[in-house]
Amino acid sequence: MLLSVNKILMLIAILAAVWYGFKLVGRLDKARGRKPRRFGFPGMKRGGAKDEPEIVDLVRGADGKTFTARKTDEQT
């Protein structure tokens, strides 16, 4: 299967459009005075979450169907 000249030119045009699209978005963000966008959630640090979630112990309720958080001063 040979690549025709038309296919190669179309590929180059698509790659150039994507490249310049990203450059345009970067320039617009810079002009607005914002940092460039990164993937992830707002406030998320690189390599992990913003705050570590608190671990909560759950205990079975009196009815046996519900769970509630164990109080921190309770030792069982």
Residue 52's pLDDT band, with cuts at 50, 70 and 90, is low
Number of domains observed in the structure of the chain = 1
Question: Which one has a higher pLDDT value, 37 or 18?
Answer: 18
**Is 33 inside any structural domain?**
yes
71 in a structural domain: no
- Which structural domain range is residue 16 located in? 1-37
Looking at the domain assignment, is residue 54 inside a domain? no
* Predicted local distance difference test score (pLDDT) of residue 50: 55
Does the pLDDT at position 35 exceed 90? no
Check pLDDT > 70 for residue 41.
Answer: no
Residue 53 covered by a domain:
no
For residue 44, being part of any structural domain is answered with: no
Q: Is there a domain that residue 75 lies in?
A: no
pLDDT band at 15 (very low <50, low <70, confident <90, very high): very high
The first and second tokens of residue 15, run together, are 């790659």
Global confidence as pTM:
0.41
In a domain? residue 55:
no
